[in-house]
Structures are given as C-alpha cells and as structure tokens.
C-alpha cells in the first residue's frame, strides 16, 4: 500500500512511522508530509532516508491510506482532498471524532464500526483510549453503572515542543534560572495543574468533555454515566489514570483481575507485597496499557478502583491508528 503520513515531523507522526515499521505494515511506498517549513527534512523509514514534502491539495494522488496527525485545522482543510483522491483517512485530531457519520474506533472494542466509514475514520483522544481499553471488558462483563476518572497527563499530549519545554524548564529550575514558557501557561517542572485545554460552558475543560462524549460514542451508549477530572503532571510520555467504577452486576476483585488478564492490549503489572504498581516509566515505549491496584471501594456498593498507565504516543495515538489501518486491509 502507498501510505501518506501527514504531520510526519511531529511526535505522533514519527511514532506512526515507527509503528508501521515495527509491525511490518505492507508499505510499498511511504509519503511523508508536513508544513512548508519542514519540507526537505529527511526522516528514516526501514533504513532509508525519506524526504519530507510540503502538504498540498494534490499530495494524496495514488495513496491508499493517509494517517493524519497535524492538528484539527489541517485535518479539516486537507482530509477532503485525500478522500476525493480515493484515499482512506485515519485522523488523529479532534476534527471528526464527534461527527455522527464518521466512525470513532478503538479496534479492541468497536472494530465493526470500521466498515461503516465513508472515507474517514477518527482516532479517539489519548486519555479516552487508555481508559476504555481496560474499562470496556469490565463493562461488557459486569455493566458499569457509573465511572469517575482522574487523569495524570504527560507533556507528550501537547507535542514534541511541550516535551522539550518540560526538559528545558526543569534544567532552568534546578539551576535557579528564569525560564520563558511558550507552550504551557504555568510552571510545569515540579508542578501540576488542571488540564489547560479551553474551559467549556458546563464547567469542564475540553479534555474532560472529550473523555465523556467519545466514550459514549465508542460504547454506543449515549447515556453512559462518566465524569472526569484531567490534570497535567510533569511526566514525558505516559498518561496515568485513577478510575472508580460502580457495577450493576455483582463482582469481586479476583473476577475483575480474571477479566483483565484476558483483555487484548491490557497487561497486569504489580507487586502487591512491595507496594509496586504501574508507573509511567513502565509504560513508556510499550504497546500495552498497564493495570494494577484493583481494589474494592468500601464507600459505595459494588464499586472498585483501578490504576492504569499507558503510553500516550503509542496506544494513545500512533499504535491505535495503525491498528485501525490493519483492520481495514483485512
């Protein structure tokens, strides 16, 4: 297949290339696209140096699949040119996620929706993917009545420049030097703050609303009860989430562990006697979403806590997009 990567020089775009190569996706030709300022740069793919081209209206002629990760504005402008060229778009931005005619897909959950596409398939938000991967098998077995989630989100969610800003600001703070931030509104090094996405009319930020509305769409349950609080923490590339789930059907901690042990893309990681649970350093550069510290909530009937960690750039973005492409060619 001739595959285009739009936003190839960004953090997710680079991961998309790595995942395509690692999973031996059937690429006959790869086209790397980015803004004009990145044109001419060379990136490695399967041992070859590929020159980055400027993203244009006619860039997608002859392409079979286009993986978009250049932001909402670019997707809204260029996706239609790709589809009109007969190219399937798998989009990692928020541009099409809530469009009722465009599938929003996590392959381990709703791969059947892929067949409903009309040229565009949307990749969910990273926090949604990481949460839903372990939540779905529990919901399918025991029916989740209510979900409360708090996220602890890494710099990678805001891109490569944000990761570099965290590193540079950390050095500056350690040296007692002033630092001028360009990405984040507040000090990020040795600090945390509620997610800096725009505040919405309902009192929740955009990131929190994404988790609610995207989960309902993926689960095909428009009244699914979920509420979220999203927080930025000074971690480079793996998101962590604390989830409280109230179940309709009776369950035990052991039964939940058994369900998750069989869940695709989920891995139990813990050493209970030594109080050792999944951490961002465990999940960084790993495909699976790690789960641990499952325990009963004594304050609410048939309720449980889970602690989960996943790589934001991989399963939270690039890996999920490539998995969608794999289902397409099946």
Q: Looking at the predicted structure, is the pLDDT value of residue 193 above 90?
A: yes
Sheet with 2-6, strands from edge to edge, namely 53-54, 29-34, 2-6, 65-68, 88-91, 120-122
Give per-residue pLDDT as tens, 239-264.
Answer: 999 999 999 999 999 999 999 999 99
Q: The tokens 């996620």 sit on which residue? A: 97
Tokens of 222: 């428009």
Q: Which listed residue (63, 132, 195, 239) is catalytic?
A: 239
330: pLDDT strictly greater than 90: no
Question: Which tokens in the block code for residue 143?
Answer: 């029916």
> Both tokens of residue 86?
């007969």
Quick one: three-class SS letters along 288-312? CEEEEEEEECCCCCCEEEEEEEEEC
Task: In whole angstroms, give the CA distance from residue 51 to residue 284.
Answer: 28
Active-site entry in 126, 132, 205, 230:
126
What is the Cα Rg of the chain in Å? 20
Could you tell me if 217 and 119 are in contact, meaning their C-beta atoms sit under 8 angstroms apart? no
Note the pLDDT tens digit of each residue in 114-153: 999 999 999 999 999 999 999 999 999 999 999 999 999 9
User: Would you call 126 a catalytic residue per the annotation?
Assistant: yes
The answer to whether residue 84 scores a pLDDT higher than 90 is: yes
Residue 166, C-beta contacts closer than 8 angstroms, at least 6 positions apart: 155, 188, 189, 234, 236
Is 139 catalytic? The answer is: no
Kindly report, residue by residue over 23-34, the tens digit of the pLDDT: 999 999 999 999
Render pLDDT for 205-234 as a digit per residue (tens, 0 to 9). Answer: 999 999 999 999 999 999 999 999 999 999
Rounded Cα–Cα distance for residues 180 and 94 (Å): 29
- 46-77 pLDDT, tens digit each: 999 999 999 999 999 999 999 999 999 999 99
Q: Which domains does the chain have, with CATH numbers?
A: 2-123+317-329 (3.40.50.720), 128-312 (3.30.360.10)
Average pLDDT score over residue span 184-210: 94
Ramachandran region of residue 55, left (φ > 0), alpha (ψ -120 to 50) or beta? beta
Q: What is the mean pLDDT of the chain?
A: 96
Half-sphere exposure of 213 (CA within 13 A, CB side): 13
């Amino acid at each position: 297949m001739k595959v285009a990567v739009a936003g190839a020089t960004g953090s997710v775009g680079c991961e998309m290339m790595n995942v395509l190569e690692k999973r031996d996706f059937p690429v006959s030709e790869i086209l790397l696209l980015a803004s004009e300022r990145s044109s001419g740069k060379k990136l490695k793919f399967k041992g070859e140096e590929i020159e980055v081209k400027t993203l244009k209206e006619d860039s997608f002629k002859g392409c079979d699949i286009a993986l978009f990760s250049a932001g909402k504005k670019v997707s809204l402008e260029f996706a239609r040119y790709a589809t009109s060229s007969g190219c399937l778009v798998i989009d990692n931005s928020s541009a099409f996620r809530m469009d009722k005619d465009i599938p929003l897909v996590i392959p381990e959950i709703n791969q059947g929706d892929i067949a409903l596409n009309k040229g565009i398939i949307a990749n969910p938000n990273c926090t949604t993917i990481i949460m839903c991967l372990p939540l779905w098998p529990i919901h399918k077995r025991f029916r989740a009545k209510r979900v409360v989630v708090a996220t602890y989100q890494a710099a990678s969610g805001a891109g490569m420049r944000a990761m570099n800003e965290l590193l540079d600001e950390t050095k500056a703070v350690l040296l007692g030097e002033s630092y001028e931030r360009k990405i984040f509104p507040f000090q990020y090094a040795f600090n945390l703050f509620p997610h800096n996405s725009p505040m919405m009319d309902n009192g929740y930020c955009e990131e929190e609303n994404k988790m609610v509305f995207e989960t309902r769409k993926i689960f095909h349950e428009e009244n699914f009860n979920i509420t979220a609080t999203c927080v930025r923490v000074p971690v480079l590339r793996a998101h962590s989430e604390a989830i409280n789930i109230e179940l309709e059907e009776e369950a035990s901690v052991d039964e939940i562990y058994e369900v998750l042990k069989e869940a695709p893309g989920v891995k139990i990681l813990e050493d209970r006697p030594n109080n050792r649970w999944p951490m961002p350093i465990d999940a960084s550069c790993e495909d699976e979403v790690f789960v641990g510290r499952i325990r009963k909530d004594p304050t609410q009937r048939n309720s449980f806590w889970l602690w989960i960690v996943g790589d934001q750039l991989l399963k939270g973005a690039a890996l999920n997009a490539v998995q969608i492409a794999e289902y397409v060619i099946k």
